Chains A and B, each alone.
Chain A
């Protein structure tokens, strides 16, 4: 027995399979057609003609990580809001519009508090976050 909302999944899987097939096929064609004359100089990483110094895998600034963290929080919030938004109109037609609005707005207002906090504390700034935070942490 298959679940009721199962029948739309086959095209999804087929499209993913087509992507992989296209990748493998294109690769195969390229292997057949392309010349193959490797040399050491050709396969050095491109650095505008200079000899590359060291590896590119170096430590990166923490700000990327902060962006990722804030993103996940907002992502989860929007995931939780999606089902409620999807039935909002239905609830309104049933006469529970005011109740649904209160539930929805209180959820969003807490979200707004979060973004306002991050804004105020300078976590949303790309450049100045260091200076701002030293001032606040004294």
Chain B
């Protein structure tokens, strides 16, 4: 059985009331709950993605000692709404040489690949939509649709900039999937399971129980994951697929209006998803820093706040890195992936396996303080 938001809510009394209201039809009620939760989460993540573009500009302005957007709303915070309206009312131009079907399909694939990962993102221990047994594995697999969409976006435009960006993007995304997957494998090994529920239940309590502080190898694995995730989401310093100064805008050069908006939305939500996964795998996820024996809905909402704050802190680091480091060359990019990150990730995996056997799976804090 997979733990889901429905099976979590069914332990409360109001679930029975709802069930009676739906005429004892459990499937229909589950569908309604999932649909409602899905709309809420998609709305939340779209807002976060939109605010991400705003934060990007505001933080870059801070770093470069400028003001940044400050006209629309207080501190310019409504800028992303203005941008969204602008995109919707822009003319949709498609190059006459383009492959029309793939040109339409590419942004949709990006959206599907990113939104499907939201289904397993662990917002809290009870309120995550579905805690699949193969949770993290599913997340890695389905997000590889984004790689296909990047390639298709580049190919379908039939513009030279786009084609180069698409090829680069696809090869970069699949290359960096290897160190990321192996780092996640190390966490799977430490937690003894692939579901986010299992992974987070092993990190309950104080930060010393977080997997990043579990042992030295896991500490390095956390950084390997983060670097690889930056490259997988095409963020600077790995933003070669859309390098402005050499490829104009890479794979979405020819995209205008709403379709460009979908690409941008998918990209910013993916950054949030990646940060959320990093927070769940290495930084304790949504666990409260203290043990509580009872479980009520407000406590779950507190867990959501904790998860969001960890994920958004990582989001800030991602933006900070973007405006700090210069872009890599393509050969450096591939060398970092295959010659540094992958061997380090394999070393970490071996180290974690040996650690589990030698110290019986105890973390450093447990070994030192002995509890």
B323 CB contacts on chain A under 8 angstroms? none
Do the beta carbons of B192 and A86 come within 8 Å of each other? Answer: yes
Q: A5-B1, A23-B262, A64-B171 are in contact. Are A11 and B95 (CB under 8 A)?
A: no
In the complex the two chains form, is A112's CB within 8 Å of B163's CB? Answer: no
In the complex, are the beta carbons of B95 and A12 less than 8 A apart? no
Measured between beta carbons, the chain A residues less than 8 angstroms from B334 are 67, 124-126
Q: Which residues on B sit within 8 Å (CB–CB) of A89?
A: 189-192, 356, 361
Q: Which chain B residues numbered 141 to 196 have a C-beta less than 8 Å away from chain A?
A: 155, 157-163, 167, 170-171, 174-175, 177-178, 181-182, 185-186, 188-194
Asked if residues A75 and B178 are in contact (CB atoms below 8 Å), the reply is yes
Q: Are B129 and A11 in contact (CB under 8 A)?
A: yes
Bound together, the chains give a CA A46 to CA B7 distance in angstroms of 52
Residues in A12-71 with C-beta less than 8 Å from chain B: 12, 14-16, 18-20, 22-23, 26-27, 29-31, 33-38, 40, 42-48, 52, 55-58, 60, 64, 67-68, 70-71
CB-contacts of B314-371 with A (<8 A): 330-331, 333-335, 338-339, 342-343, 346, 349-350, 353-354, 356-357, 360-361
How far apart are the CA atoms of A47 and B257 in the complex, in Å? 19
A58–B193 Cα distance when bound, in Å, is 45
- What size tier do the contact residues of chain B reach? 35 or more
Judging by beta carbons under 8 Å apart, are B112 and A112 in contact?
no
B343 nearest CB neighbor, chain A only: A115
Among B188, B193, B357, which residue has its beta carbon within 8 angstroms of that of A97?
A: B357
Q: Does B75 make an interface contact (CB < 8 A)?
A: no
By secondary structure, the A interface counts as helix
| Set of chain A residues within 8 Å of B132, measured between Cβ atoms | 5, 8, 12
B5, B115, B349, B353: the one contacting A18 at CB < 8 Å is B115
Q: A12-B116, A15-B38 in contact; A35/B96 too (CB < 8 A)?
A: no
Within 8 A of B (CB), among A86-121: 86-90, 92-93, 97-98, 100-101, 104-105, 108, 111-112, 115, 118-119
A8 contact from B130, B160, B349, Cβ within 8 A: B130
Contact present for A45 and B97 (CB under 8 Å): yes
Contact call B357/A101, Cβ cutoff below 8 A: yes
* Shortest Cβ-Cβ A-B pairs, 8 listed: A89-B192, A8-B2, A8-B130, A45-B159, A19-B115, A30-B258, A126-B331, A97-B357
